[in-house]
A and B are shown apart, each in its own frame.
Chain A
Amino acid sequence: MLDSAGGAARRRLAGDEGVWFFITADLMMFAVFFAVFMTARLDEVALFEQSRQRLNPAIGLLNTAILLSSSWLVALAVHAARAGRREAVSRLLGLGILVGSGFAVSKACEYTAKISAGVTLLTNHFFMYYFALTGLHFVHFLAGMAVLGVCWRKSRHEAIDGRFLVWLESAGCYWHMVDLLWIFLFPMLYLLRAA
């Protein structure tokens, strides 16, 4: 992002710089998870393939669309905040939260269907990773929704100033990270076929 000051332009990270440390650490942690998953997959390719086919890629795609749409709305809210348009910020954030909540509904339906069919994280190694990784991602999702909720409340009751913008940009960056993790999880769990 470019930030003009005193006629000179300098580059700065969006949001609080410290939040990037959180995001980087989290991405590294998930990178380890992905590596562990892929290594485990090498030992049981047939089982992983057979188990993968029990997942519904259409739901995975729906989840991807929900998260990306929600992120887009939050990005629009950031632009609106930079322009000082309070009503638009509040509206877009509310929409982002509303659309994002669809992920919780979708995930709840997916988990319920799996558990009802007797598939749990103890079924086999594939489903251990499936439930553990998507569960950890879901905890990140819930934290993101909570932070967006705080931003939405602030947008209605507090000034749309530089301090608020840092809050909102930080929340937006985190929310994009939640997307990014899902963008890796979706193909890895739902689409990756045995060679």
Chain B
Amino acid sequence: MTERLKYLRLCAWSGPAFLAIFIVFWGILGHNIPPLPADLPAQAIADHYRLNANEVRLGMGMSMSFAVLYMIWGLAIAKVMQYGVEKDNDVLSTIELWGAGLTVVPLLVSSSFWLAGAYRPEGLDDSVLQLFYDLPWLLIDVAYMVTSVQMFALGVAFLKDERAVPLVPKWLCWYGIWVGFMFVAEVLMPFFTSGPFARHGVLNFWIEFFIWFFWIVALSGYVLIAIGRLEAEARGIVVDARAPRLAPAGSVANA
């Protein structure tokens, strides 16, 4: 019975691994945490590529190599949804997996544009290099909905969990739905080069990215615990997973 849960822990660990790699290589080495301000002149963006070309090449190369981990993480979540909360209908887990898989696309493609900017910056005009910095930011921000549908689908599915102690707590389901919902503010980003809605602004970068990062960490923890619980249920340790939690022996029930 536990055979079908094989490999899932490894898949679930892909989420934190993706996040760590993403922050270090895409964010720090790639100079995207924080992003270069959108109101910088083209020359400043071009200077960035020319001065930091090798860092950006390494950062984006690694970012592209490991972006697929997000999809593998999504697969772990989908399987926990299927085995843990879905009955005869796998629509939500399918949407979740597609959402995770499609999230990889803007990550890969935008990283390739940053990489292109760093490839031979000395031979390109400043305005071209500026384009190679703007374009990936527009893509990675405005393609938010592929990630939002992942958040909505898994949030709704885990909210239907009838266990006394759900596999994923309700607050986290709602938090994910909220994060997916708040991503809509990214639509404002193309209109601004300064202020809170610009790519480097308080909202569109600092809040939006970090609420997503926190969600990945928290959800990974609960998915890993859920895999253990599903294994226990499969072994019959929890006879009726949907029964209300019993009070410990000897305890006095509160009226």
Contact = CB atoms under 8 A, between A and B. Distances in A.
Interface of A: 6-8, 16-19, 21-22, 25-26, 29, 32-33, 36, 40, 121-122, 125, 128, 132, 135-136, 139, 143
Interface of B: 159, 169-171, 173-175, 177-178, 181-182, 184-185, 188, 191-192, 195-197, 202-203, 207, 255
17 contacts: A7-B255, A17-B170, A18-B169, A18-B170, A19-B174, A21-B174, A21-B175, A22-B175, A22-B178, A29-B207, A33-B203, A128-B192, A132-B185, A132-B188, A132-B197, A139-B181, A143-B181
A27 to B, nearest CB: 11
Rank and list the top 7 A-B pairs by shortest CB-CB distance, nearest first: A18-B170, A22-B174, A21-B171, A18-B174, A8-B255, A21-B174, A22-B178
A25 B178 contact: yes
Nearest to B166: A18
A136 B174 contact: no
B171 A128 contact: no
A36 B175 contact: no
Contacts of A19: 174
B197 A32 contact: no
Nearest to B179: A25
Contacts of B170: 16-18, 21
A81 B81 CA distance: 32
Nearest to A26: B178
Nearest to B170: A18
Contact of B197 (A6, A25, A26, A128): A128
